[in-house]
Every structure is written in C-alpha cells, then in structure tokens.
Amino acid sequence: MSDGRRTRPRRPQGGPQDAFGRPMHDLRISVTDRCNFRCTYCMPKEVFGRGFEFLARSEILTFEETTRLARIFVAQGVRKLRITGGEPLVRKDVEQLIAMLAAIEGLEDLTVTTNGSLLKRKARALKEAGLKRITVSLDSLDNEVFKSMNDVDFPVERVLEGIEAAEEAGLSPVKVNMVVKRGVNDHTVLQMARHFRERGQILRFIEYMDVGNANGWRLDDVVPAGEIIARINAEMPLEPADPNYRGEVARRYRYADGSGEIGVIASVTQPFCGDCTRARLSAEGRLYTCLFASRGHDLRVLLRGGKPDDEIAEFLRSVWTRRDDRYSELRSSATPDLPKVEMSRIGG
C-alpha cells in the first residue's frame, strides 16, 4: 500500500477552474473547532455551552496530514494559506505547523486569523516559525461592548497588547477585522477607524453574515458597508483603491490624506461570489468550496486510507471543476434558514 508520499502531484497549467472560471488560489485551514471566546455571532453559549461535544483529538488532522494536504493544494495552484479555527492559537504547538507549512515550495503567503487572546505570548514564536502576516478579530474598543460580544469577559486591553506584540515581532502591518452588528457595536465604528488609522494598521469592517445556523442572524441586524463607508468618509475623507489581487474579499479605501486605508467585506449587500477563489479545509479534513456550504468532501478518509498524492490531487480537481457556489448572490428570504456548516468549523 502506498504511504501517499512517494508520488508528487503534477501542477496543472494555471490550476483548475470551477464552473464559472474561478481559479483555486486561497486555502483556509481550520486547525481546531474549539475557541476560548463565545462570540454571539459565531459560537453563542446557548449552542456551544458546557455540554457541547467538540471533535475528538483522533478526528482532527495531524500537523503532518495538514501539511501534506496543503502541499497538494499548492501543487494545484493555491498560493495563499490562512490558518483559522475556532481559535487557531489554542491548538497546542501550532507554531510547529506554521514552520511545516512555511517550508512548502511555491507558497507565496502564509497568515493566521486569531482573536488575539494568546497573541502576546505566541507572536514571536509564530514569526520565527515563518508566519508572514496576522489578522486579529476585534469588534470594539469599548470594553463593555467587547466583553458582551465575546461573552467570556475578555478585556480589550489584552487584545491590544497582542496586536502590539505582533507588530514588535515583525508581523506587520497587522490587519484588524471588526464584525459590525446594528444596535450592538455599530456606534463604535468611528472610534475604531480613528484608533487604527493613527497606528497605521489596516481595519476591515465585516457585514454581519448568516454563516451557520446558530447565531440567530436577521437582515435587520446588518449594517451595510455603504453606510459604514459614509460614516467614516464624513469625518475622514476616503477614496476607492484597487484590489491587491483577483478575488480579494475586502473592498479597499484609502484615506484621502494618505494616512492609511480601510476595507469592507460586504458579503450581504455587495456579494463577491463572482470572483471567489477560496477553498476551506475543516479541522477534521473536510473540503468546503463555500463559506455557506452545507456539506463538505472528506479528505481525511483518503489520507488515512493510504491514497497517494496523485489520487488526492485528482479528487481536488474534480471537486473544484464542478464548483458552482454562488450563495451570497442567490441569497433570498429563505436561504438563511438552509442548513450550513458553522463558522467555528471552517473559519471565516
């Protein structure tokens, strides 16, 4: 039986394209379904309480399995890896995985999205392991608002210390993601914009999305990206900026005085399905071709069943070339109630 390491998948010319001609360029890898926060829009306590059963250790991909799959994806055209969770930094020795991934030939970008709670003590080790950049989720600078949203009484100051540690370690510029929910934290948008503009860090505002089925999403809770931009522009004039690459999720805006930039991720009001180049790998090794997917494709069974790299690569190509996901473009009053995988399983 092959150990799956003796054959190297050949890189197809340009990589596979899906049914709409979208290439596979980005892979988001969840390394755990666990998190030390209980953010109300992601892992509310009512669902993810003390009795919730998370994945067993044996079900989660090992670092070696994750690296092997990542190498196969890169051979198929993926150029960017983003490590997510759950909260990826709660995975023991995650910096070892970063070092393994950083060594993959052909990989151009390696980054992590984290809630920042463990970043102060992990930042330097992550940088030394080969991490290039980091994104921190922070939904408000108002302590009471932030604590109510993370729902574990975690203070803003410790996240800010983590961001500072990341900058000092050379993981810069740090990007900060803010999920905006009407009536909860939207009144702190300008405060966030001022703070990160002064520090030269890129802030991105994310429309509250109907990911999964646990967060009680309602359209009335969404603050449209256009409204966010208008609020900031009224005080700090903005101008549109070109995307950095095809399929970039955030729409970029520069401050007119040259003092930095912000971004908006507007999956609800300005869907970007038409240029989506992202695949997602869950902690237990399931491949999802859309953030709003209801089912995944089991790669773990191929790994542990002794399939060689070439066969796994062919399976990836077959999945991607059939891909026709357009959830955000097709969203209707009924679609938010369709069964979808929870964000804590596949990251953002």
26-346 topology per CATH: TIM Barrel (3.20.20)
pLDDT on residue 11? 42
The per-residue pLDDT for 211 is 61
158-214 pLDDT, tens digit each = 999 999 999 999 998 899 999 999 999 999 999 999 999 999 999 999 998 866 555
Give me the pLDDT at residue 268, please: 83
Map out the domains of the chain as residue ranges. Answer: 26-346
pLDDT confidence of residue 273: 78
b/e for 117-126, b at 16 or more Cβ within 10 A? bbbbebbbbb
Q: What angle do CA 264, 267, 272 make, to 5 degrees?
A: 90
Name residues of the chain where pLDDT drops below 50: 1-13, 332-335
204 phi/psi in degrees, rounded to 5: -125, 130
Three-state secondary structure string covering 62-120: CHHHHHHHHHHHHHCCCCEEEEECCCHHHCCCHHHHHHHHHCCCCCCEEEEEECCCCHH
Tokens of 289: 């071709």
pLDDT at 14: 64
Q: What is the pLDDT of residue 12?
A: 42
pLDDT at 151: 96
Q: How far apart are CA 345 and CA 86, in angstroms?
A: 6
How far apart CA 93 and CA 126 sit, in angstroms, is 10
Return the SS3 of 316.
Answer: helix
